[in-house]
Structure 1
Amino acid sequence: MRVLVFGDVHGNLIALEKLFKIEKDSYDQFVCHGDIVNYGPWTNECLEFLSQQENGVFLKGNHEEYYLEKYYPGSNEVAKSFFDFCIPQFDDKFIPTISKFEKNHSIGNFKITHSIEGLYIFKDTNIENLNFEDNTIVGHSHQQFHRVNNGKNLYNTGSLGQNRALLDVANYLIVDTEKNTVELKSFIFDIQKVISKMELSTYPSICLNYYKSKNTINK
């Protein structure tokens, strides 16, 4: 079975639609590991789009938790500004949907979850003391990588919608459970369409400047 694994969409419908166009008919199941919502201008549209796709499994990220609680617990000024602007745009009809998202999901010999103990794990994070007994796939840190510790594989899908290194690059994985392989994949999308929509939606300057300050593959 081929499984498409992605997450950290963050309201980026442009990247999401392109993913399903690229991988059309190439997978048997998809798993979204959370953080569909917030930041980008199409949270509701992304939830609607994904609900129309077949053979999907949905996991809950920290941003789904924030949306259910309608509260951002952090102190980061940029993140708080995004949340304060985006949460009023959220359609409450999706509350039952995201409430049912699972915490983790297993495919083949891999466990998929949004994060391990809520930690941001990067390419250079010390993972020797992390609690993962299975081959594990996570997201959350928006950085794609493959690492090995004590014979166990740790993959990060990277972010589909908000790559913090190169904002116009979308990351995801394909897991083949029969071949026991994981392929790290990516594509480039038009980030200007996202920023233009944010401008039309009158996002606060602090939010727009955050996106405009990020590097892109063409910058």
Structure 2
Amino acid sequence: MRLLLIADIHGNYEALRTVLDVPYDRAVCLGDIVDYGPDPDRCIDLLQKKNITTIRGNHDNAVAFKVDCQCGYRYKHLSIATREYTWKILDRAGMKYLQKLPLLIKEEIDGKSFYFTHGSPRSMFEYIKPETSDEEVLRMIEGAAEPVEAEFLVVGHSHIPMNRKIGNLTIINPGSAGQPRDGDTGASCAVFDTETGEVEFLHLKYDIDAVCAKIEERMPHAEELTGILRRGY
């Protein structure tokens, strides 16, 4: 099975549509559908239409329950400003969808065990980055509300693609589909082959100009938001 992994869409419909054109048998979204981008409603609609398993991210949580997203200081003013926009765009059904998203899913797929969550097993607000020490990751795992009894821990949140192994646990992050932080302007995703256990990371070109035009027309802090998309960070 080709398992498509996506995360951190952030209202970027063009990027989401592009990653969903990748051939796959099943897709899982690791959360953060909303904030920063112009089309949170269309992104939610497309995920529902495609019946894609989706985790609740910290930005989804902030929009759904009107609480702090606890994101990094560098981008926090953008998340706060664009959240007001997001609330205006989403209808009641969209808000209820976000509220009902699970914080984690544990599942066996083709004989392999997976633990899907947004940030870390301990908190949706914690980052597991390539440079995060093994010791810190293990503390996050030990503090998990639900035991991480899996071969593969699949997360989002950092917006940085990652495939690393700690002991018997492989940690995968597909990067961000719609709000890059790794210097690549493409829509990032990953395809996991459940037969071989191999992971392929993709950065796909999409119509950034169309997204930027909508941001400039509709959203606050447009220059900063479009700059991120055009730089890749």
Per the normalisation by structure 1, the TM-score is 0.86
Q: Does 1:38 align with 2:52?
A: no
Partner of residue 129, structure 2 = 122
Structure 2 CA distance for aligned equivalents of residues 159 and 144 of structure 1 = 8
Q: Distance in 2 between matches of 1:169 and 1:87?
A: 27
The answer (yes or no) to whether the contact 2:36–2:225 under 8 Å persists in 1 is no
How far does residue 61 in structure 1 lie from its aligned partner after superposition? Answer: 0.8
Shift of residue 34 of structure 1?
0.8
Give, in angstroms, the shift of residue 59 of structure 1: 1.0
1:115 counterpart SS class: coil
Equivalent pair of 1:167/1:191 in contact (CA under 8 Å)? no
The alpha-carbon distance between structure 1 residues 78 and 97, as it changes in their structure 2 partners (threshold 3 A), is closer
C-alpha displacement of 1:68 = 1.4
The change in CA–CA distance for 1:73 and 1:101 in structure 2 (over 3 A counts) is closer
Is there any run of 5+ residues in structure 2 with no aligned partner, and where?
142-147
1:208 equivalent in structure 2: 222
- Check if 1:67 corresponds to 2:63: yes
Q: Considering fraction of residues, name the structure with more helix.
A: 2
Query: Where does residue 27 of structure 1 map in the other structure?
Result: 24
| Alignment check: 8 A CA contact 2:161 2:172 kept | yes
Aligned equivalents of 1:59 and 1:156: distance in 2?
A: 14
Partner of 2:154: 137
Q: Which residue of 1 aligns with 2:102?
A: 102
Asked whether the 8 Å contact 2:15–2:178 carries over to 1, the reply is yes
Give deviations 1:161-199, integer Å, cap 9, x for gaps. Answer: 000233631111112222222222221222221111011
Partner of 2:145: none
Are residues 104 and 73 of structure 1, via their aligned partners in 2, closer, same or farther at CA, if it must alter by over 3 Å? Answer: closer
In the alignment, the residues of structure 2 paired with residue 63 and residue 178 of structure 1 have an alpha-carbon distance, to the nearest angstrom, of 33
Q: Percent identity?
A: 28
What secondary structure sits across from 2:210 in the alignment? Answer: helix
User: CA 1:214–1:73 in structure 2 vs 1: closer, same or farther (change >3 Å)?
Assistant: closer
Report the Cα distance in structure 2 between the residues aligned to 1:138 and 1:49, rounded to whole angstroms.
Answer: 21
Q: Answer yes or no: is the 8 Å Cα contact 1:104–1:112 preserved in 2.
A: yes
Q: Tell me which residue corresponds to 1:81.
A: 81
* TM-aligned CA distance change 1:110 to 1:13, over 3 Å: same
Quote the RMSD (CA, aligned, Å): 2.1
Matched positions, count: 211
C-alpha displacement of 1:16: 0.9
Residue 171 of structure 1 aligns to which amino acid in structure 2?
Answer: S
Aligned partners of 1:175 and 1:87: how far apart in 2?
A: 34
What is the identity, as a one-letter code, of the residue corresponding to 1:122?
K
